[in-house]
């Protein structure tokens, strides 16, 4: 029998509090705690976070502080920073924070060589960045399009950084290709001119099937345009330089990063080369420094004043004790349109686990579904469910106070909508209010009752002064540490991703079965390959393969 990940006393206390919170709601908390906004709002320097419209309370915090002591949270945080092998299923350290702060906040590493590797890697990236810029400046045709080929962690963060931080009048457009679906590739190539296009392939191992097949097809496009040796003009970003060289990329065109850089944490490394080439290395360094400043908050603040701990505490409480299944994130800034995709991978790939750290099945709920969109578009689709739906969905609103354009009325409208939604989710409206508001409108009683919604729906507001490189770096580092904290609460390993491997392996077995020349029924070899698949999959294979 496995050891429970939450003690009986902590679980009982949280279950009792949840019963009380369901009965009283959030609005009542403001009336009994006049300092609630100040008490549960935090200034991280680069952004401000207001948790007061959630179920947070001093009682909840007190229980989680006891929980933190029981699971030795502070020591686990120290283990992360000291480079201990906290990714126990793969026997690896988690070292991505070194990419943005090679001083490691003054904390001693368990392996001194790692700091030297981090320093050398950062210096190498800066040096290679300048070399590439020099090479590009000597080209006969200026680069107008960069095709960034990578999938998952080899693309999502870089795309977010590019979209968020590029100048509005940038002369270079970066196209991100991750999907093996050739419709995406064909669409991108149709927008590019051969002479003005740079290709950067990104893969940690340089064996990623989708990435290599997309690079092959782009190379064919170059050949069709008269380029005899297209790979000589490609760049590779990888932790396996020899693999990239074997593929055909010249050594001078290979940018490396350490093997200890995990995919969904690689945005801080040379994986973001294509974004750095557009925004400039200075802005990229500021992006790293913003993250390092947030690291310092997480490393030095005690749990009761640690914004990352408190946000994760709420995530854990909602999922396990208030029956929440999802969390919504809404970025009220078009430049952050890829943020939800990035955070979706960060949180669900990290904490979507059903195994405890010792391999036993979990005895609690883990990652909620993370979803969302860009305001105000989503207000005209999913917000109906947020306000009146039967599921409790904590929501996060990310706002930017000062825009980088001069259309003041547009931005006022944007901010007004974002702030109004958080107020509406909290307040709701009852029949008496509706009767007063629509007294002269001649609405039927049925129409009025249809306008009732309860309120007491939790929301968090994150406010950036401006969307600067430092602010973006701090924001992403905040979500990283929040994800770590949740994993500690749930007693899971946040740094492996075993769940994605089976489907990828089976895909290699499925592909040969799609050959229309050799239907499954007609070949002894294909029949053997099909062994082990369920009847539904076999039926679908037959239909697809016979087309």
Question: Do 29 and 136 reside in the same domain of the chain?
Answer: no
Question: Do 162 and 274 reside in the same domain of the chain?
Answer: yes
pLDDT of residue 102: 83
Contact 44, 474 (CB under 8 A): yes
Question: Do 481 and 388 reside in the same domain of the chain?
Answer: yes
pLDDT of residue 518: 57
Distance, CA of 544 to CA of 512 (rounded, Å): 12
Question: Do 374 and 460 reside in the same domain of the chain?
Answer: yes
Rg (CA), the chain: 26
The pairing of beta strand 326-332 with beta strand 41-43: unpaired
Last residue of one domain, picked from the residues 285, 309, 334: 285
Question: Do 362 and 484 reside in the same domain of the chain?
Answer: yes
Prediction pTM value: 0.94
Question: Do 255 and 378 reside in the same domain of the chain?
Answer: no
Question: Do 203 and 328 reside in the same domain of the chain?
Answer: no
Note whether residue 321 is domain-resident: yes
Last residue of one domain, picked from the residues 455, 478, 496: 496
φ, ψ of residue 144 in degrees (nearest 5): -115, -25
Q: Which two tokens stand for residue 277?
A: 């080439």
Question: Do 492 and 505 reside in the same domain of the chain?
Answer: no
Domain count across the chain: 3
Question: Do 478 and 512 reside in the same domain of the chain?
Answer: no
Note whether residue 377 is domain-resident: yes
Mean pLDDT score of the chain: 93
Note whether residue 525 is domain-resident: yes
Question: Do 157 and 258 reside in the same domain of the chain?
Answer: yes
Question: Do 142 and 254 reside in the same domain of the chain?
Answer: yes
Q: How far is CA 293 from CA 329, 475, 478, in A?
A: 23, 10, 10
Note whether residue 429 is domain-resident: yes
Instruction: State the catalytic residues.
Output: 349, 380, 504
φ, ψ of residue 206 in degrees (nearest 5): 55, 35
Note whether residue 100 is domain-resident: no
Note whether residue 513 is domain-resident: yes
Question: Do 225 and 150 reside in the same domain of the chain?
Answer: yes
- 472-509 core/surface letters (b: 16 or more CB in 10 A; e: else): bbbbbbbbbbbbbbbbbbbbbbbbbbeeeeeeeeeeee
Note whether residue 510 is domain-resident: yes
Note whether residue 296 is domain-resident: no
508-530 pLDDT per residue, tens: 888 888 876 555 555 555 555 66
- DSSP H/E element including 197: strand 197-202
pLDDT of residue 523: 55
Q: Domain span at residue 240? A: 106-285
Return averaged pLDDT per consecutive 10 residues of the chain, 547 residues in all: 86 98 96 95 96 98 98 95 90 90 81 83 90 90 96 96 94 95 97 96 95 97 96 95 97 92 93 96 97 95 97 98 98 98 97 94 96 94 95 98 96 97 96 92 93 96 98 98 98 91 82 68 58 83 73
Kindly report the CATH number assigned to the domain that includes residue 263: 3.40.50.10490
pLDDT of residue 229: 93
Closest CA to 365 of 196, 228, 490, 513: 490
Last residue of one domain, picked from the residues 462, 479, 496: 496
Question: Angle formed by the axes of helices 469-490 and 281-300, to 10°?
Answer: 40
52-89 pLDDT per residue, tens: 999 999 999 999 999 999 999 999 999 998 889 999 98
């Amino acid at each position: 029998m496995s050891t429970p990940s939450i003690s009986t006393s902590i679980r009982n206390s949280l279950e009792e509090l949840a019963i009380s919170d369901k009965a009283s709601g959030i609005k009542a908390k403001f009336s009994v705690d006049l300092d609630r906004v100040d008490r549960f709002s935090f200034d991280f320097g680069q952004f401000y976070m207001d948790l007061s419209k959630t179920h947070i309370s001093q009682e909840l915090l007190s229980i989680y502080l006891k929980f933190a002591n029981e699971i030795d949270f502070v020591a686990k945080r120290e283990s992360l920073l000291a480079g201990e092998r906290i990714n126990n299923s793969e026997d690896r350290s988690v070292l991505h924070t070194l990419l943005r702060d090679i001083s490691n906040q003054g904390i001693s590493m368990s392996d001194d060589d790692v700091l030297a590797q981090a320093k050398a890697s950062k210096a190498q990236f800066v040096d290679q960045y300048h070399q590439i810029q020099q090479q590009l400046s000597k080209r006969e045709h200026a680069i107008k399009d960069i095709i960034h080929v990578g999938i998952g962690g080899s693309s999502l963060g870089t795309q977010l950084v590019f979209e968020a931080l590029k100048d509005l009048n940038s002369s270079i457009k970066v196209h991100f290709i991750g999907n093996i679906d050739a419709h995406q590739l064909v669409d991108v190539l149709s927008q590019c001119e051969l002479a003005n296009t740079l290709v950067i392939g990104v893969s940690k191992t340089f064996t990623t099937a989708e990435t290599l097949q997309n690079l092959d097809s782009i190379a064919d496009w170059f050949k069709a345009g008269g380029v005899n040796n297209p790979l000589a003009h490609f760049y590779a970003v990888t932790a396996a330089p020899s693999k990239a060289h074997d593929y055909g990329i010249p050594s001078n065109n290979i940018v490396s990063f350490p093997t200890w850089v995990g995919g969904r944490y690689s945005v801080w490394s040379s994986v973001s080369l294509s974004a750095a080439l557009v925004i400039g290395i200075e802005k990229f360094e500021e992006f790293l420094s913003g993250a390092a400043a947030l690291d310092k908050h997480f490393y030095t603040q005690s749990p009761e004043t640690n914004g990352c701990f408190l946000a994760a505490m709420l995530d854990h409480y909602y999922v396990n004790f208030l029956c929440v299944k999802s969390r919504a994130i809404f970025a009220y800034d078009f430049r952050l349109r890829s943020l939800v995709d990035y955070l979706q991978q960060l949180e669900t790939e990290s904490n979507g686990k059903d195994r405890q750290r010792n391999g036993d099945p979990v005895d609690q709920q883990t990652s909620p579904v993370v979803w969302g969109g860009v305001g105000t578009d989503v207000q005209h689709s999913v917000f109906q469910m947020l306000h009146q739906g039967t599921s409790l969905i904590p929501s996060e609103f990310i706002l930017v106070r000062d825009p980088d354009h001069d259309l003041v009325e547009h931005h006022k409208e944007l901010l007004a909508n974002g702030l109004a939604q958080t107020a509406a989710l909290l307040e709701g409206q009852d029949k008496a209010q509706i009767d007063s508001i629509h007294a002269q409108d001649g609405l039927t009683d049925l129409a009025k009752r249809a306008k009732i919604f309860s309120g007491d729906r939790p929301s968090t507001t994150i406010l950036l002064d401006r969307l600067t490189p430092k602010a973006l770096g701090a924001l992403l580092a905040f979500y990283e540490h929040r994800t770590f904290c949740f994993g500690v609460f749930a007693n899971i390993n946040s740094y492996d991703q075993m769940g994605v491997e089976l489907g990828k392996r089976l895909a290699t077995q499925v592909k040969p079965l799609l050959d229309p020349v050799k239907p499954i029924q007609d070949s002894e070899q294909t029949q053997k390959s099909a062994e082990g698949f369920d009847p539904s999959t076999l039926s679908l294979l037959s239909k697809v393969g016979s087309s």
